[in-house]
Amino acid sequence: MGDRPDKHLKLSVRGLDCPACATQIESAVSKLSQVKSASVDFAGKLLMLSYSGSEQSILAQVQQAAAAVEPDVVIEKRELSDSVEADHDELPWRRLLVGSLLYAIALLLPGKGYWWLFLPGYLVLGGRTVYKAGRNITRGLLFDENTLMSLATLGAFAIGEYPEAVAVMLFYEIGELFQDMAVGRSRRSIAALLDLRPEFVNMLLPDGAVRQVNPDEVSVGATIIVKPGEKVPLDGRIIEGSSWVNTVAITGESTPRSVEPGDSVLAGYVNQSGSLTVQAMKPYSESTIARILNLVEEASARKAPTERFITRFARYYTPAVVAVAGLIAVIPPLMFGQEWQQWIYRALIFLVISCPCALVISVPLGFFGGIGGAARQGILVKGANYLEALDKLHTIAFDKTGTLTQGVFQVTSVVPVGQLTQDELLMLAANAEAQSNHPIAASIRGAVEATSLTAAVTDYQEIAGEGIICCVDGDQVAVGNRRLMTRLGIEPAQVESNGTVAHVSCNKAYQGYIIIADALKPDAAAAVGLLRNHGVRRVVMLSGDREETVAAISDELALDAYYAELLPDQKLAVLESLPAQPGGLAFVGDGINDAPVLARADVGIAMGHIGSDAAIEAADVVLMTDEPARLATAMRISRKTKRIIWQNIGLAMGVKGLVMAFGAVGIATMWAAVFADVGVALLAVLNSLRALRA
């Protein structure tokens, strides 16, 4: 028997207020024997788990492993209806108020040099921090922020810097509070950005009454009512009513779309005018908006190289800074006879500044915001690693049909040769094709008004691979390719065209021809230009279509190369043969028959076909609007997100390095060190919020 496939769980992590703890919990859970992979997203308070065994057993093991790191953390199964929220805690405000009052009293009392005057304020402000530090030390966690801050402030007490010890703890708690508020605001901003889950569904009952129910309670086939101003709660098909719908939540398009009976509507659309009666086609859990929300949340499990680097960097940075602090405290007094108190104070500054919170919080939060902002533009990015990779692409290979072209055959030219006009020739062919289901027939019929197809069609005969012979109002009409004309003894015109040519004869007299072609998407040319502006060096096309058709489109779009008449396995072989270049290779396809190529590319990008299951499953990035130019938008969001993240890294390391240098020579105080730690983390978090605005 083969190995059983891994199972997956999405777990909420409540009570997690320390980014270092998030990393430690991730490491502890990853070491469990049944766990294949684990990823903790501090910004989203989410644990993504791949495991084997029973769900109940793994939940108990994960909770135990998390509690060994942080006893206050609660791990529980994430439900579909759960939203991203910040933990609410009113106690910090009370602690700050009482602690500040006690500190002010100690400063005003005579004899302020006595340590015990400052002890009440210190215990109120920092008691919880010291308690956590002691608990963590017993667990071998020596380098978290609680331990470092406790050692620094207790050390300040030991050398007689009582007012400064309390002040540092006060400003540390204030900074932590505002930092938590900023992170909470980020979570709520992302949640609000993607808060598209309908609160209720107006379900039409068999007796004609309408009852409001939970979206999860509606079964496939049920009839629902969507009133003006309401969100469409489920994917469905309109059976009555017409309206304008706002699709911006799904596609990023600001222009409303007209819908009428027979049209499909997706969960997340907003009905703007008339009342709609809709038949539910999928349960809520499989609706487009539910999948979008899940994909955005789960993207946090796929970390970008920058995130992984910062995590590794933090493991070594803090111990290294603590070691330097120890050397600063010991070497000058022992080797050069310097004053112990002075150098211990300078070492304490290093302890305060050694926590890498600004990096550990702001980097993943920046990627989280970038992914959320992209989703708001109708671009689903399935991981921070793919978002980061988008900015570095060297080569992009496009499929043709449905990607660069519309994938719908249209009449592009009508050329009469006999006595018929263009309209008469087109109408004759459309009447002859009235009974055919062939795509070419459908495109010819689509070029005329359906109500005008009133001719009597008899003796209908469809010849596979050639065309149609029938009688239209008593005249024998043939519509088809050159082989059909030759069969009837008719010499058709010689036509050089990249499209499909349908020749038309009437009573065995040649009347002319109609050209049907797959037109380029309106933004295809602009997309290629924008990609080149974003630094893409090579744009190529892989297609199963005819050589002449592919060549013509390649010339029109000024592509670097094209490969025609490819079967799916040949597409994969060609993709693998493309020269490897720094920056990576992306493939853009329709996500249905291009799955192997999408999976092989460094970044697989699918046209979403407005809710296609196959597209969403196959690719790393999904463009929900089917517009190739949105790929340039995705690259722009990637570039902006990376710029914000490197701003945060530069800010954190620059300010910390500067304060360390000033502290080592005796210029900076512990207050400056607190700003360099907590203040910079707060600024970095606020800067990360900019990634939400795509």
Task: Residue 43: give its domain's CATH number.
Answer: 3.30.70.100
Give percent above pLDDT 70 in the chain. 91
- Average pLDDT of the chain is 86
What pLDDT, on a 0 to 100 scale, did the predictor assign at position 294?
A: 76
What pLDDT, on a 0 to 100 scale, did the predictor assign at position 84?
A: 47
Residue 61 lies in a domain: yes
Residue 236 lies in a domain: yes
pTM exceeding the 0.75 threshold for the entire prediction:
yes
Q: Which of 77, 111, 128 is the last residue of a domain?
A: 77
Residue 97 lies in a domain: no
Q: Cα dihedral angle (463, 468, 469, 472), rounded to 10 degrees?
A: 150
Q: How far apart are CA 399 and CA 612, in angstroms?
A: 17
Dihedral sign, CA of 673, 141, 39, 90?
A: negative
Q: Is the pLDDT of residue 393 over 90?
A: yes
Label residue 433 by pLDDT band (50, 70, 90).
very high
Per-residue pLDDT averaged across 355-371, rounded? 84
Range picked from 48-57, 346-355, 539-548, 640-649 for highest mean pLDDT = 640-649
Q: 45, 39 in Cβ contact below 8 A?
A: no
Per-residue pLDDT averaged across 16-37, rounded? 84
Per-residue pLDDT averaged across 655-684, rounded? 88
Q: 211, 201 in Cβ contact below 8 A?
A: no
Label residue 2 by pLDDT band (50, 70, 90).
very low
Cα angle at 610 between 606 and 614, to 5 degrees? 50
Label residue 100 by pLDDT band (50, 70, 90).
very high
Better-scored residue on pLDDT, 612 or 123: 123
H helices of 139-287, where? 145-158, 162-193, 248-251
| Distances in whole angstroms, Cα of residue 177 to Cα of each of 136, 172, 273, 509 | 21, 9, 45, 87
Q: 543, 401 in Cβ contact below 8 A?
A: yes
Q: Which of 519, 539, 567 is the last residue of a domain?
A: 519
Label residue 253 by pLDDT band (50, 70, 90).
low
pLDDT of 300-328, one tens digit each? 667 888 888 888 888 888 888 889 999 99
Label residue 82 by pLDDT band (50, 70, 90).
low
Split into its structural domains, the chain has a count of 3
Label residue 593 by pLDDT band (50, 70, 90).
low
Residue 622 lies in a domain: no
Residue 56 lies in a domain: yes
Q: 160, 341 in Cβ contact below 8 A?
A: yes
Residue 612 lies in a domain: no
Under DSSP, the state recorded for 39 is: E
Under DSSP, the state recorded for 391 is: T
Q: How far apart are CA 457 and CA 127, in angstroms?
A: 92
Residue positions annotated with a catalytic role: 399
What pLDDT, on a 0 to 100 scale, did the predictor assign at position 86?
A: 43
pLDDT of 220-234, one tens digit each? 999 999 999 898 999
Residue 515 lies in a domain: yes
What pLDDT, on a 0 to 100 scale, did the predictor assign at position 111?
A: 62
Integer-rounded Cα Rg, in Å, for the chain is: 33
pLDDT of 494-542, one tens digit each? 988 778 899 999 999 999 999 998 888 999 999 999 999 999 999 999 9
Residue 619 has which token pair?
Answer: 């690719």
Q: Is the pLDDT of residue 87 over 50?
A: no
Q: How far apart are CA 329 and CA 88, in angstroms?
A: 40
Neighbours of 669 (CB within 10 A): 18
Q: Which of 30, 54, 77 is the last residue of a domain?
A: 77
Label residue 615 by pLDDT band (50, 70, 90).
low
Domain that holds residue 243: 201-289
The residue whose two tokens read 């990015």 is 381
Q: Read off the CATH number of the domain in which 485 is found.
A: 3.40.1110.10
Residue 551 lies in a domain: no
Q: Name 421's Cβ contacts closer than 8 Å, sequence gap at least 6.
A: none
Per-residue pLDDT averaged across 15-39, rounded? 84
Q: How far apart are CA 479 and CA 468, in angstroms?
A: 5
Indicate the residue type of 264: S
Q: Is the pLDDT of residue 190 over 70?
A: no
Q: Read off the CATH number of the domain in which 222 is found.
A: 2.70.150.10
Cα angle at 318 between 317 and 320, to 5 degrees? 65
Dihedral sign, CA of 94, 95, 101, 105?
A: positive
Q: 688, 644 in Cβ contact below 8 A?
A: yes
